[in-house]
Amino acid sequence: MTEYDLAVIGGGPGGYTAAVRAAQQGMQVCLIEADRLGGTCLHRGCIPTKTWHSTARLLSQIDQAAAHGIKLGSLSFDFGAAAKRKDTVVDQLHGGLRQLMKSYDIEVFRGQARIEQPGRIAFRRPGLTGRLQARHIVLATGARPVRPAVWSVDGKNILTSDEILGIQGLPSSLLVIGGGYIGCELAAIFAAFGSRVTLVEQQPDLLGNSDREAVALLTKALHAQGVNIHVGTAIDQLTVVDGRVEAQLAGKGTSQVDKALVAVGRVPNSDGLGLEELGVELAAGAVVVDEGMRTSVENVFAIGDLTGGPQLAHVAAYQAGVAVANALGGNEQVDYNVVPSTVFTLPELSQVGLTEEACRARQLAVDIGRFSYRSSGKALADGHAEGFVKLLADKSDGRLLGATVVGEQASNLVAEIALALGHGLTAADVGRLIHAHPTLAEMVKEAAEDVNHLAIHRPPARRE
At residue 360, φ and ψ (nearest 5 deg) are -65, -40
- pLDDT tens per residue across span 151-201: 999 999 999 999 999 999 999 999 999 999 999 999 999 999 999 999 999
Instruction: Please indicate, yes or no, if residue 457 is contained in any of the structural domains.
Output: no
Beta strands in 118-164 (DSSP E): 120-125, 128-139, 143-145, 158-159
Tell which of 264, 286, 313 closes a domain: 264
The phi-psi region of residue 416 (left if phi > 0; otherwise alpha if psi is between -120 and 50; otherwise beta) is: alpha
Instruction: Please indicate, yes or no, if residue 341 is contained in any of the structural domains.
Output: no
Contacts made by residues 278-287, CB under 8 angstroms, sequence distance 24+: 278/115, 278/117, 278/118, 283/308, 284/308, 287/139
Catalytic residue among 68, 223, 423, 437: 437
Contact in structure between 109 and 32 (CB atoms under 8 Å): yes
- 28, 141: one domain: yes
- C-alpha span between 128 and 131 (Å, rounded): 10
Tell which of 245, 264, 283 closes a domain: 264
- 34, 122: one domain: yes
For residue 221, give its domain range: 149-264
Domain CATH code at residue 367: 3.30.390.30
Contact in structure between 8 and 19 (CB atoms under 8 Å): yes
- C-alpha span between 39 and 172 (Å, rounded): 30
- C-alpha span between 148 and 146 (Å, rounded): 6
CA angle 320, 324, 329 (to 5 degrees): 150
- C-alpha span between 417 and 342 (Å, rounded): 13
Instruction: Please indicate, yes or no, if residue 338 is contained in any of the structural domains.
Output: no
- 271, 245: one domain: no
314 is catalytic: no
Show binding-site residues for NAD(+). Answer: 178-185, 201, 265, 305
Instruction: Please indicate, yes or no, if residue 167 is contained in any of the structural domains.
Output: yes
- 72, 172: one domain: no
DSSP state of 387: -
pLDDT, residue 458, reads 66
Instruction: Please indicate, yes or no, if residue 56 is contained in any of the structural domains.
Output: yes
Helix (H) or strand (E) holding 241: strand 235-241
- pLDDT tens per residue across span 35-80: 999 999 999 999 999 999 999 999 999 989 999 999 988 889 999 9
Mean pLDDT within 324-343: 97
- 306, 366: one domain: no
At residue 166, φ and ψ (nearest 5 deg) are -115, 15
pLDDT band at residue 1 using 50, 70 and 90 as cut-offs: confident
Cβ atoms within 10 Å, residue 452: 15
Share of the chain above pLDDT 70, in %: 98
- C-alpha span between 117 and 132 (Å, rounded): 11
Q: How many domains does the chain have?
A: 3
- pLDDT tens per residue across span 209-256: 999 999 999 999 999 999 999 999 999 999 999 999 999 999 889 999
- 12, 140: one domain: yes
Domain CATH code at residue 84: 3.50.50.60
- 83, 127: one domain: yes
Instruction: Please indicate, yes or no, if residue 342 is contained in any of the structural domains.
Output: no
- C-alpha span between 383 and 437 (Å, rounded): 17
Report the mean per-residue pLDDT for the chain: 96
At residue 323, φ and ψ (nearest 5 deg) are -60, -45
List the one residue out of 179, 165, 342, 191 whose CA is nearest residue 263. Answer: 179
Tell which of 209, 237, 264 closes a domain: 264
Show binding-site residues. Answer: 50, 178-185, 201, 265, 305
Instruction: Please indicate, yes or no, if residue 335 is contained in any of the structural domains.
Output: no
At residue 433, φ and ψ (nearest 5 deg) are -70, 135
- 370, 387: one domain: yes
- 355, 431: one domain: yes
Angstrom CA distances, 351 to 27, 131, 170, stand at 36, 44, 31
Instruction: Please indicate, yes or no, if residue 138 is contained in any of the structural domains.
Output: yes
Show binding-site residues for FAD. Answer: 50
- 73, 104: one domain: yes
- C-alpha span between 34 and 109 (Å, rounded): 8
> Which residues are bridge partners to 266 per DSSP?
145
- 177, 240: one domain: yes
- 314, 257: one domain: no
List the one residue out of 389, 398, 403, 401 whose CA is nearest residue 443. Answer: 389
